[in-house]
Amino acid sequence: PMMKELFGLNQLERDLESCLNLKKVIIVPGDSDQSDWVKKEMGRACARFLRKIAEPDQVIAVSGGSTMLAVAEMMMPSSAFKSTMFVPARGGVGEAVELEANYIASLMAKKTKGHYRMMHVPDQVSDQAYQTLLREPHIQEVLESLKRAHIVIHGIGNAMTMAVRRKSSQAVLDKLQREQAVGESFGYYFNRNGEIVYRVQSLGLKLDDLANAKNIIAVAGGSSKAEAIRAISTKVSRDILITDEGAAKAILSLE
Ligand code: G3H
């Protein structure tokens, strides 16, 4: 807390809470666009926050990405985590393996001595394969546990950055451009008003499932993500945002 006062971040947190209409904002100093340790600090802040709010026998749904990986790397055991089930929010979406939700859920379980489930589905499945996979008992089980998640932790990406990173087709890139997509989360792409303009066909958490979650925690920073964070905070992530100073100031200057 003393460090935060030093950096004047407490006021910034309150300002961002009211700007984005969130229950709680936690800001770490710096800008993760500039240096990688800032992302690690967001990871540490999220891991600490989770440890504080986690209760025994809960399901925690986790998405993918490098920020979620930073969270996973900072996780530590606790008595509540021992009976926690970490569940990937989505199957493959075309990311490098260590950025997939599957890997991150398993790493969180390993670091905390908790449990995890896997969702073994390839990315970019055909309609037919998708329908078949949906009926698989092990997939159904995972989808059911996602609906029961008490806590959902997710990253937020820039729409174009994510589409390129996932090697999306030119048709998809064109669509995102046409629809002026700014942000991405859970494989959904949003425009600046927080409306869904495109969705990757992969199995996992539906936005409707979030209605049951007690705590939805977004972790995303870097001034370049300002528009994406603002778009997604209005609709998806109504609870908690863990971000950095760079993003926080950039969001406030969008107003
Ligand atoms: O869905 C959002 C992305 O996974 C965010 O990825 O944390 O690597 O920027 P990132």
CA of 66 to the centre of ligand 1 (A): 6
CA of 158 to the centre of ligand 1 (A): 8
The atom of ligand 1 lying closest to the CA of 187 is 1
pLDDT tens per residue, range 94-125: 788 899 999 999 999 999 999 999 988 876 67
CA of 165 to the centre of ligand 1 (A): 10
Q: Side chain identity at 150, as an amino acid letter?
A: H
- Residue whose CA is at the smallest distance from ligand 1 atom 9: 157
- Residue whose CA is at the smallest distance from ligand 1 atom 5: 157
User: Which of 66, 164, 242 best tests ligand 1's pocket when mutated (most atoms within 8 Å of CB)?
Assistant: 66
Cβ of 185 closer than 6 Å to ligand 1, yes or no, is: yes
CA distance 255 to 253: 5
Asked if 62 and 153 touch (Cβ cutoff 8 Å), the reply is yes
CA distance 240 to 189: 20
Per-residue pLDDT of the chain (255 residues; tens, 9 = 90+): 566 666 679 999 999 999 999 999 999 999 999 999 999 999 999 999 999 999 999 999 999 999 999 999 999 999 999 999 999 998 877 788 899 999 999 999 999 999 999 988 876 678 888 888 889 999 999 999 999 999 999 999 999 999 999 889 999 999 999 999 999 999 999 999 999 999 987 788 988 888 889 999 999 999 999 999 999 997 787 799 999 999 999 999 997
pTM: 0.95
Cβ of 155 closer than 6 Å to ligand 1, yes or no, is: yes
Cα distances (angstroms) measured from residue 179 to each of 23, 50, 171, 187, 219: 30, 35, 12, 16, 25
- Residue whose CA is at the smallest distance from ligand 1 atom 4: 65
Cβ of 43 closer than 6 Å to ligand 1, yes or no, is: no
81-111 burial by CB neighbour count: b if 16+ within 10 A, else e? beebbbbbbbbbbbbeeebbbbbbbbbbbeb
Cβ of 157 closer than 6 Å to ligand 1, yes or no, is: yes
The atom of ligand 1 lying closest to the CA of 69 is 7
The interface predicted TM-score (ipTM) is: 0.97
